Structure 1
Amino acid sequence: MGAKIIKYFKQLSITRKVILILITILVIAYIFCLPRQLFHVPYSTVVTDRNGELLGARIASDGQWRFPPRTTTPEKVKQCLITFEDRHFYHHWGVNPVSTGRAAYQNLKNKRIVSGGSTLTMQTIRLARNKSRTFGEKFIEMILATRLEFRASKEKILSMYVSHAPFGGNVVGLDAAAWRYFGHSAEELSWAEAAMLAVLPNAPAMIHLSKSRQSLLNKRNRLLKQLYGRKIIDSSTYELAISEPLPDEPHPLPQIAPHLVSRFYQERNGKYSVSTIDRGIQTQIENAAERWSNEFNRSDIRNLAILVIDIQTNQVVAYCGNVNFKRKQSGNQVDVIQAPRSTGSILKPFLYYAMLQEGSLLPHTLLPDIPININGFTPQNFSLQFEGAVPASEALARSLNIPAVTMLQKYGAPKFHTFLRQIGLKTINRPASHYGLSLILGGAEATLWDVTNTYAYMGRSLLQLPQTECSLLLSDSENSEAVTSAKTTDIFQPGAVWQTFNALTEVNRPEEIDWKSIPSMHPIAWKTGTSHGFRDAWAVGVTPHYAIGVWVGNATGEGKPGLVGARTAGPVLFDIFSLLPPTQWFKRPGNVFVKTEVCRKSGHLKGRFCEETDTLLILPAGLKTEACPYHHLVTLSADETHRIYENCANLEPTIQKSWFTLPPVWEWYYKQHHPEYSPLPPFKPGCGEDALQPMQFIYPPMNARIVLPKQMDGSPGYMTAELAHGNPATTIFWHLDNTYLTQTQDFHKISLQPTPGKHSLTAVDSAGNTVTTTFYINPL
């Protein structure tokens, strides 16, 4: 075939060859004359909720309100445009010879351009080229218009036109015009509104809302009359349409979830994005946030952020990055959801979970709540009190700091640091040694986004759903990928999560509101946190439907005395939950627990001498934990305990009794809160358990490193050593570095002024029992 064509071409005359070559060149030029992308303009960033309702937008980089291109044109707008601009739109190939001829005749007759004769296709080309209106440019538009007709459908051409047509001022395109002039979407336009927008692109500079209003109204009504004459609208619709007034001035665009819109503006500039936000829930959340913000402002607490995740769909349904977005002060424009903030106690449930899952803790194991000093780190509870020993579940729910630190010390800070990174806390990015044991008390920073997502992971594990980071984006004009995505993980196991959530549901902190007293409130696993210096207040709650995170504080980092999670973020959290539908509590996971006997007093596995026990469901890993070390078998008189102890030589008859005994320091504080606790009476020599140490140093602990601050006169300061004894009335003899100091009775405290370096402090009671601790005084 190719050879025949070449042979035929060779047989042609030179003139015919030239003509054929020219025709071929013209055909090729015609085929490739239209750019692949017709419009090269920046677009506004537009964000809608899950149902397509506008949340907000950001202006395009050229200062125009130009929404991303549409794919369809509303029927009313289509009928108005075709009737007004191009009645034969569906019947020509881009150029209407009759309209073009009529326009040429009118222009020649008047010796000026009075009619363009352009079709909608030609006008689309003119909008894309944005060239001066000359006869030569008109000819180019005609050629390109016919080429566009070959490439695109009529509907596509119409949508390109309405997306880029000028509508006066800096308003470009149908969508921006509908929102700016009428305050709603193009799909909701009335016939009068559609007719007004149809006539605006014809002369947007001459006809505007602020000038020539009568001319605009006349044009609109003439178009409506034409629609009525062509029986596109009926008489009643026509009468109602012409009675509608023109809008007075442009409407401001919606400002719903403004921080989310700004986030999309940064990540997806110039895109049309359908978010996962539920506009109804978002509006309720923003109203509640504004109400609470007004309350907190009285205490000079200016910022508030709320994140609501539907854990069943794994989507964010409300995103309140801050309050008072329009006020460009006090950090109101900071998106706190994405800002790293000190975590306070909000990470404690993750440690509780990890230790349950590993089998190094049972849900109600007694933990020490006593003064501790770990290489100079001396954590304190929020109440500044000590209770001696507290069940782990209660320590978690009450957010006690000292039990949490001892848990982390046992579990290992490096291992916990790795775990936090695995579950998605991306901003904890320094080495574990940087945080140390303070990691569990707010020594690290995390974002409300990551923290709430991680709690949502836990909830999704109980629903047996993939534990992936939640989505903010449903779809956009190009694809349906999520803005945020993560690999599917199964880091949380349902058994330990169930036990953790139970601890967070059943026990309340004393200073927190009692949500059980609110009849309409459904069960919630929740936790609060307060950072050092009262700079950040947190509250996170989870139900089978929602995970909600709340942060309250000042974006500038100022601390305020009343900025406590339980008093600020906690009430906000419950207010938000009250706005959402209640749900049934999580179902207990099946086939993950084993039944076992646990000591009722210590929470440990049942020991040899434990008499009061409970049968509990625990994880199989918990079977390797330590049996109760606090019950001992003691030989007692069957008559009167204290009298028999004073006559130890005549223990006739005798019985053996299990006795619950805590270490001396634990006991010192524990019995102050538990009057039912019965300490062992003092033993006579040879009558007691030699293994039970009757005394223990409260301070300083072994290997403590201490800095003594200078006094006002510049002299070295003092430290106070304290000791707990099972029998406070006994006499204690104190020795520092083998040098006798003094003796104490009842209250075993002494003041010391040791020199820098290593020291050994020894205490001996009147029965000859001895205890020693070593400490170091660091020079200033």
Structure 2
Amino acid sequence: MWSQTLRKYILPKLKVLSRSRWLRAILLFVVVGLGLDAAFPFHPKVPYSTQILAADGTVLHAFLSKDDKWRLQTEVAEITPLLRKTLIYKEDRFFAWHPGVNPLALGRAALRNLLTGRRTSGASTITMQVVRLLQPRKRTYGSKFVEILRAIQLELHYSKTQILQMYLNLVPYGGNIEGIKAASLLYFGKPPQLLSLAEITALAIVPNRPSSLRPDRRQGSLRVARNQWLRRFEKEKLFEKNIIEDALREPLDVKRRAAPCEIPHLALRLKSEFPDEPTIRTAIRPQKQRQVEELVKNYVNRLRSKNIHNAAVLVVNNETGAAEAYVGSADFANPYDGGQVDGIRAVRSPGSTLKPLLYATAFDKGLLTQKTVLNDVPTNFGGYEPENFDQRFNGPVTVEFALANSLNVPAVKILKDVSTPVLVEQLKKAGFQTVSKQSKDLGLSLILGGCGVTLEELTRLFAAFAREGKVRPLTFGSPTELPKKSKIKGSEIVSPGAAFLITNVLTQITRPDLPTNFDNTYHLPRIAWKTGTSYGRRDAWSVGYNKRYTVGVWVGNFSGQGVPELSGAETATPLLFSIFNSLDYNSPKGWYRAPDPVAVRQVCAASGDIPVEFCTNKIVDYHLMGVSPYRRCTHRKWVFTDVAGKVSYCPYCLPAEGYVRRSFPNLAPELISYYEFKKLPYEKEPPHNDTCERVFHDGAPMIVSPNQGSEYYLRTDEPQQLLLSCQAANNVEEVFWYVNDKLFQKSGPTEAVFMSPPPGRVKISCSDDKGRNTDIWIMVKRL
């Protein structure tokens, strides 16, 4: 009876009570553990070395960590199954199952230590070793207890893969080398994923005795220990016998190698931009980078005899916007020629390289087309008188000829029409930082190199032409994976039509900036390119593009020393061609096609305008529909003359009979002055009927010297004079100069007149023989 009562009532209650106590104890343990975890958090912060990776994951450059260690972060993808299997078997066979501590191994080690009276085994798991590597302590039982608690804590917050990754990043390999990746690169010259079983085994046993088994100093001892472990693997049947035999026969070729130090300019730049990132990924293609470096180095070596010592090259993928080759100088290790200066970011004068943006902007504003005719003649722009690079003038030229030949006077005329602030805003939009800072001080000389730019900015600008007028930031590196295709569409700086017109002009090969060297023109790549030479021949530029790449080249001296032989065409373009021939000679991307807004039409060859009855020579021209100017040609005009063609008449003095209608060139005054100065023959309009009393108002002479509103300082102790010069219509035979409304002298329209002006505010007037007049005011001061 009692036994039945015991089994039926008392024992179940005791079991429930016992179970509830265990549950409460477990719950209390969990609560206390969580409280301790919150009160004493464990957030490992490892000062990794900064490593710069190529597009294929190759380590291009590495820097010492803040504590002067070579400690390169190993990615999970770099932990191969062979590495994982070998390491776990050797260090912690039950790593996948225990909670950070292996109780059986811990008990076995404690018993062995008690029996021997000394520490023979620590029973540390991989997790516990990670804790010890992160927070080194003296080897005591108290420290072991803390390691156990921290190991459990680590397992609560990190996965097994992450813990294994930490271990591989922290294990010592002798000297200041820590982590499997640093050891693999510095001892074997290869990344961890390419290590063989013999190499993995050798590296797996070094952390246990990093001094006595240091790979570069104890190769004999390391080989013996490696082979012992390989035999143990064979005995435990961890690997097949033939694999073990191959590993045993593999020689142990270990030596301390230098850390990777490629792309030094880009590496230093990215380290300063991402100072706290252990891994920075780039789109650099190692093979292309080395090709470009070799081309630059060899090319500059050939130029040294001309006192030209440096060059910089940037290669950008147009599809991704990422830099695939970055060469800041010819030799980073050369301190005499400024090898450590990054030529890609150095601010220099651009020469004529900004002209394509100016012309494209003018196309979009409907000011001109490719066949529009401009006058390349000496011109005074308010005191600024630009000259061409060859110090010659060409007379009437088309826009495409002016751009392809990089003529200066037409470019300044276009900038005057477009306005400097508009072009400056375009450059700001394209990301030109120095131009943005200088914007208030920039004038017409801007288009001829009167500003500061970098090779990076110019390359980005021309990449916009390659991308149908869309400009976007270039990418050089990022802690995250760089996209294979750019997700940034970019902002439109010029229209696709204008970009196509610029590309069409810059693709022409009948131009003076084509190198005269046969080697460079024999294998001419199909690219659009523009050259530039700064004032004083200090900088030579050549930037080119096709559908795949945009390449920017600068050649010169970082000291700023000018060289007579330095020019964009003869110095920078040969290197540009060599790079394109090396990287993308027969591009599979094809070539550009005219977008929808671009159409063709017939124009007059003499003006580039819509043909009229005078236009006998018609040519085909591209134009932007709805944008390009629709002007009727006025290169000639009808004039009434007598039958002999000696006198011209206006409608006011036209006789009743005895006259005929003839056509004459409608020449601009500056072109007439050019023809007269050069003694070039041209068709002149007959002088007007001298008995006509009508006063003309249009076509008054244009005073080109002195300059309106200018101040002139004349010395009192030396006789000094001012030049009086004007440009008049082609039917003008005499002009009359007035100073403060008093006749000073009459002369021919192209004749130079000199005068000594009085001090103070002076009025200068010029009238032609048609009664047309122009006034200007100047200020004269005596010194």
Counting only pairs closer than 5 Å after superposition, residues 243-282 of structure 1 correspond to structure 2 as 243-269=249-275, 270-282=277-289
Contact 1:342–1:446 (CA under 8 A) maintained in structure 2: yes
Deviations 1:522-543 (A, max 9, x none): 3322112223333332221121
Query: Which residue of 1 is the match for residue 634 of structure 2?
Result: 629
Shift of 1:585: 5.4
Query: Which residue of 2 is the match for residue 601 of structure 1?
Result: 606
What CA distance in whole angstroms lies between the structure 1 residues aligned with 2:659 and 2:590?
A: 52
What CA distance in whole angstroms lies between the structure 2 residues aligned with 1:724 and 1:149?
A: 89
Query: Which residue of 2 is the match for residue 666 of structure 1?
Result: 671
Shift of 1:55: 1.6
Shift of 1:161: 0.6
Shift of 1:68: 2.6
Counting only pairs closer than 5 Å after superposition, residues 92-241 of structure 1 correspond to structure 2 as 92-105=98-111, 107-108=113-114, 111-241=117-247
Shift of 1:626: 4.0
Query: Which residue of 2 is the match for residue 5 of structure 1?
Result: none
Query: Which residue of 2 is the match for residue 389 of structure 1?
Result: 396
2:386 to 367, 379, 395: 379
Query: Which residue of 2 is the match for residue 6 of structure 1?
Result: none
Counting only pairs closer than 5 Å after superposition, residues 5-44 of structure 1 correspond to structure 2 as 23=29, 26-29=32-35, 32=38, 35-37=41-43, 39-44=44-49
Shift of 1:248: 4.9
Shift of 1:628: 2.9
What CA distance in whole angstroms lies between the structure 2 residues aligned with 1:748 and 1:367?
A: 24
Shift of 1:733: 7.2
Cα 1:365/1:705, change in 2 over 3 Å: farther
What CA distance in whole angstroms lies between the structure 1 residues aligned with 2:110 and 2:679?
A: 103
What CA distance in whole angstroms lies between the structure 1 residues aligned with 2:719 and 2:80?
A: 84
Contact 2:53–2:59 (CA under 8 A) maintained in structure 1: yes
2:583 is equivalent to residue 580 of structure 1: yes
Query: Which residue of 2 is the match for residue 356 of structure 1?
Result: 363
1:57 to 62, 69, 77: 62
Shift of 1:20: 8.4
What CA distance in whole angstroms lies between the structure 2 residues aligned with 1:566 and 1:221?
A: 63
Cα 1:770/1:604, change in 2 over 3 Å: same
What CA distance in whole angstroms lies between the structure 2 residues aligned with 1:150 and 1:493?
A: 57
RMSD: 4.1
What CA distance in whole angstroms lies between the structure 2 residues aligned with 1:193 and 1:482?
A: 34
Deviations 1:285-323 (A, max 9, x none): 111121222233334433322111221233322222333
Query: Which residue of 1 is the match for residue 352 of structure 2?
Result: 345
Shift of 1:653: 10
Shift of 1:216: 2.1
Query: Which residue of 2 is the match for residue 492 of structure 1?
Result: 494
What CA distance in whole angstroms lies between the structure 2 residues aligned with 1:594 and 1:16?
A: 88
Unaligned runs of 5+ in 1: 1-10
Deviations 1:476-517 (A, max 9, x none): 3xx768999977323321111111221222265425426998
Contact 1:470–1:485 (CA under 8 A) maintained in structure 2: no
Shift of 1:353: 0.8
2:778 to 773, 776, 779: 776
- Larger deviation, residues 656-665 vs 698-707: 698-707
What CA distance in whole angstroms lies between the structure 1 residues aligned with 2:283 and 2:425?
A: 31
- The letter of the residue matching 2:683 is P
Contact 2:672–2:730 (CA under 8 A) maintained in structure 1: no
Query: Which residue of 1 is the match for residue 12 of structure 2?
Result: none
- Larger deviation, residues 128-137 vs 552-561: 552-561
TM-score (norm 1): 0.85
- The letter of the residue matching 2:204 is A
- Larger deviation, residues 72-81 vs 235-244: 235-244
Shift of 1:131: 1.9
Contact 1:731–1:744 (CA under 8 A) maintained in structure 2: yes
- Larger deviation, residues 552-561 vs 386-395: 552-561
What CA distance in whole angstroms lies between the structure 1 residues aligned with 2:296 and 2:760?
A: 55
What CA distance in whole angstroms lies between the structure 1 residues aligned with 2:625 and 2:307?
A: 50
- The letter of the residue matching 2:64 is I
Cα 1:570/1:771, change in 2 over 3 Å: farther
Contact 1:192–1:242 (CA under 8 A) maintained in structure 2: yes
2:512 to 495, 502, 510: 510
Shift of 1:187: 0.7
Query: Which residue of 2 is the match for residue 7 of structure 1?
Result: none
Partner SS for 2:48: coil
- Larger deviation, residues 692-701 vs 553-562: 692-701
Query: Which residue of 2 is the match for residue 550 of structure 1?
Result: 553
Counting only pairs closer than 5 Å after superposition, residues 679-758 of structure 1 correspond to structure 2 as 679-680=683-684, 682-683=686-687, 685=689, 699-700=704-705, 703=708, 705=710, 707=712, 715=718, 717-722=720-725, 748-758=751-761
Unaligned runs of 5+ in 2: 1-16
What CA distance in whole angstroms lies between the structure 2 residues aligned with 1:739 and 1:316?
A: 67
Contact 2:540–2:556 (CA under 8 A) maintained in structure 1: yes
What CA distance in whole angstroms lies between the structure 1 residues aligned with 2:648 and 2:147?
A: 119
- Larger deviation, residues 435-444 vs 609-618: 609-618
TM-score (norm 2): 0.84
Cα 1:576/1:654, change in 2 over 3 Å: farther
- The letter of the residue matching 1:468 is R
Partner SS for 1:580: helix
Partner SS for 2:393: coil
Contact 2:701–2:728 (CA under 8 A) maintained in structure 1: yes
Contact 1:754–1:777 (CA under 8 A) maintained in structure 2: no
Cα 1:351/1:745, change in 2 over 3 Å: closer
Shift of 1:123: 0.9
Cα 1:719/1:254, change in 2 over 3 Å: farther
Contact 1:474–1:481 (CA under 8 A) maintained in structure 2: no
Shift of 1:264: 1.6
Contact 1:192–1:241 (CA under 8 A) maintained in structure 2: yes
Shift of 1:260: 1.6
Partner SS for 1:506: coil
Query: Which residue of 2 is the match for residue 619 of structure 1?
Result: 624
Contact 2:704–2:727 (CA under 8 A) maintained in structure 1: no
Partner SS for 2:552: strand
- The letter of the residue matching 1:599 is C
- The letter of the residue matching 2:557 is N
Cα 1:185/1:26, change in 2 over 3 Å: same
Contact 1:388–1:667 (CA under 8 A) maintained in structure 2: no
Contact 1:209–1:247 (CA under 8 A) maintained in structure 2: no
2:543 is equivalent to residue 540 of structure 1: yes
Cα 1:191/1:769, change in 2 over 3 Å: same
2:70 is equivalent to residue 68 of structure 1: no
- Identity across the alignment (%): 31
What CA distance in whole angstroms lies between the structure 2 residues aligned with 1:34 and 1:419?
A: 56
What CA distance in whole angstroms lies between the structure 1 residues aligned with 2:110 and 2:564?
A: 80
- The letter of the residue matching 2:512 is P
Contact 1:389–1:670 (CA under 8 A) maintained in structure 2: no
What CA distance in whole angstroms lies between the structure 1 residues aligned with 2:666 and 2:728?
A: 13
What CA distance in whole angstroms lies between the structure 1 residues aligned with 2:49 and 2:534?
A: 39
Partner SS for 1:333: coil
Cα 1:455/1:747, change in 2 over 3 Å: closer
Query: Which residue of 2 is the match for residue 529 of structure 1?
Result: 532
